[in-house]
Chain A
Amino acid sequence: MALLELKNVSKIYGDLKALNDVSISVEKGEWVAIMGPSGSGKSTMMNIIGCMDKPSVGEVLLDGVDISKEPQKVLTDIRREKIGLIFQQFHMVTYLTAVENVMVSQYYHSMPDEAEALEALDRVGLKERAKHLPGQLSGGEQQRVCVARALINHPELILADEPTGNLDETNENIVLDLFRQLHREGTTLIVVTHDPEVAEAAQRTIVLEHGRVAREIINENFEA
């Protein structure tokens, strides 16, 4: 059964159809890349999948639940329980240390556990920087903290909106390696990217153009 299914989803802002009759489906454990030119509706789609926005038309089934019909409160619960988010601009709470930022995610999910948070930071290679504030970390390091934060609660689905957009080669590879690990652990990954290299790391690439699905590319060379 598909973990995520979008059925004829449109998002309309006045005259503009940011998403125009989009239907896609993502299997559990699948790694999907989403590409497309600027303004094609990628972030709009991620917002809807991430339970932060509702479609104007259509159904969005996440684990069999139509999240387009649920109230805000339930959406928050679903987001907290099932989804890990990674953003292009490494959003961190500026006055909390790296480990505390990871713990914030635990705090809203269940129980803050410093040891577990440190373990997650270790996984992204940042155990040494755990006590640093975001201002003391580089962009790549901040993004790795955000990855650690996204995976700390073991979400079923990780949504990443241009996770490598601001990273250099080395950091990009570190993040991609983390995605590979998560994929091997069975986590479903949806990654928005402009970078063909990042897209090639995924099993499948969905290309959006003017709010529509232009084409889908299966990555023949995918290696887990």
Chain B
Amino acid sequence: MTKRRMFLRMITASLLRRRSRMLIALLSIAVGATILSGLVTIYIDVPRQMGAQFRSYGANMILLPKEGTHMTAESLQEVLGVIPEAEIVGASPYRYVRLDMPSRQQSFITAGTEFSQVQKTSPYFSVEGAYPEKTREVLVGKEIAETLGIKTGSSIELHYKTSGTAGQGQAADAAAGETLTGSAEGFNKVIVTADLVLDEEGKIASVSVDAASQTPGIGSLVGTDRQFLDQFIGKKLPLSLSNTASGEDAADEDHVVDAVTGATISSQAAVDAMNNAVLSGEAAPVERAEQFTVTGILSTGGEEEGYVYMSLPDLEKLTADNAVDVAELSVTADAEVLEEYCRAVSEANPDVTARLVKRVTRSEASVLGKLQALVFLVTVVVLLLTMICVSTTMLAVVSERRREIGLRKALGAADNSIRKEFLGEGLFLGGLGGLIGAALGFGFAQVVSVNVFGSSISFQPLLLPVTVLVSMVIAAVSCQMPIKRAVAIDPAIVLKGE
């Protein structure tokens, strides 16, 4: 038998046949190793996972219309074409409009969006209830819900109002095909009214004037003179009379008409009435209302809790336009590629600006940094505790084995032999404990990961030897004090029969 085999036989016998104490040391090393390998697994794996989550689910790019232009759902769809479809995890259009709730004398910012996309670009949205699926369903921010006592299933009526300052062109568009009515003061301050219909281009399609109040045979001709009335067809508002026009207007054939001879005042009144018809039609505040069912209460911990969310088509029905204010995108690509996509977007549609959202990455980094620092700290503390525990146990073991150590020395064991034997036992314990710990640690990390982060963890093969090695080092370090004690034991105690 070789010396090495005898050495191994002695230390394994010591560990196997004197179980209780060694089991405690083994247990503490195994627990330490479990926490070490578990936390390190989390330390390594979770940032990877969280990073993936942030990257693949959080918005990391936003699209905005250039000032003075506006985006629509269609133009957005077009622009998205420049980014490979596989890399787009989600793209949420947002249209923000202030809607009123007259029953409560409240008004909120309401966002029109696509809920299926929102769940991808804003995974941190937490909805109590459900996301809207049908039309006329809304999500209400928690803050609103709490102040107004709105609950899932509540019904709310929201109103859209224009303030009446909308631009001429837009109102004219809206009025296409409809009959507009206007009035103006004519001769003797008596009212002349005009009805007119505009075509899609804003040109007058048909017109009728009620001038019965004017001087019969003179002013009243304004309402009956076909020659006078026919010249309006194809003209655009605002109109003016040729004899009163400035040089500029005179040159603009689209807007200039000739007066009925001898009835300038009545003609002017007719023209004013028509101008007023359109202008008042445009200027009149529009109000549209709709009844909505609340399907869920949204909490995000942010300003979103003060918003109401509805589907884009629902909002479009209220606002009667299809503008999109901003789009949030989540794209799986790293920073450089993202920059490239930004440029490509601007090239594809010069009216759209693409920007990278730095906020997510920064918070990601800080959250991960803190998490890692915490894990590091806990690991160090646990390792220290393990060392203290192993050291104390080994000290107890040494005093328990005083006689045996004295005996070995009396039998001729050199100090180095004693050192080697205890270190051997320590390393054996460390290795075994590390092995157990690596296995348990993986399980521990798996449980934590599944419960806390909702995803399973991948096994890090390198972690096994590392855990075993670290455990052995820890055991070896912990054994130093006990070894010193052991070496100092006097062999003479054996003869004294202590």
Contact = CB atoms under 8 A, between A and B. Distances in A.
Interface of A: 43, 46-47, 50, 52-53, 73, 76-77, 79-81, 85, 87-89, 91-96, 100, 103-109, 111-114, 133, 149, 161
B495 A96 contact: no
Contacts of B495: 43, 46-47, 50, 52, 85, 87, 161
B497 A108 contact: no
Nearest to B5: A112
- Size range of the chain B interface in the assembly: 20 to 34
The SS class assigned to the B binding surface is: helix
B410 A93 contact: no
A194 to B, nearest CB: 13
Contacts of B407: 91-93
28 contacts: A43-B495, A50-B410, A50-B495, A52-B409, A73-B414, A73-B415, A76-B415, A77-B412, A79-B410, A80-B412, A80-B413, A85-B411, A87-B494, A87-B497, A89-B497, A91-B410, A94-B18, A95-B14, A95-B18, A96-B10, A96-B13, A100-B13, A104-B408, A107-B6, A108-B408, A109-B412, A112-B1, A113-B1
B17 interface: yes
A92 B404 CA distance: 7
B412 A105 contact: yes
B411 A105 contact: yes
A43 B496 contact: yes
Interface in B1-57: 1-3, 5-7, 9-10, 13-14, 17-18
Closest 6 CB pairs of A and B: A80-B412, A95-B17, A112-B6, A108-B412, A52-B492, A91-B407
A193 to B, nearest CB: 14
A91 B491 CA distance: 12
Interface of B: 1-3, 5-7, 9-10, 13-14, 17-18, 403-404, 406-415, 417, 490-492, 494-497
A94 B404 contact: yes
B76 to A, nearest CB: 78
Nearest to A111: B3
Nearest to A115: B1
Nearest to B491: A52
A47 B492 contact: yes
B407 to A, nearest CB: 5
Contacts of B408: 93, 104, 108
A46 B494 CA distance: 11
A76 B18 contact: no
Nearest to A88: B497
Contact of B410 (A77, A85, A89): A85
Nearest to A161: B495
Contacts of B411: 80, 85, 104-105, 108, 149
Interface core residue of B407, B408, B409, B412 (most chain A CB under 10 Å)? B412
Contacts of A52: 409-410, 490-492, 494-495
A136 to B, nearest CB: 12
Given A47-B495, A50-B410, A133-B17, 19 more contacts: A50-B495, A52-B491, A52-B494, A76-B409, A76-B414, A79-B410, A80-B414, A91-B410, A91-B494, A92-B407, A93-B407, A95-B14, A96-B13, A96-B17, A100-B10, A103-B6, A104-B411, A105-B412, A108-B412
B492 A53 contact: yes
Contacts of A108: 408, 411-414, 417
Contacts of A94: 18, 404
A116 to B, nearest CB: 10
Contacts of B491: 52
A85 to B, nearest CB: 5
B412 A76 contact: yes
A102 B403 CA distance: 17
Given A47-B492, A112-B6, A103 B1 contact: yes
A87 B407 CA distance: 10
B418 to A, nearest CB: 10
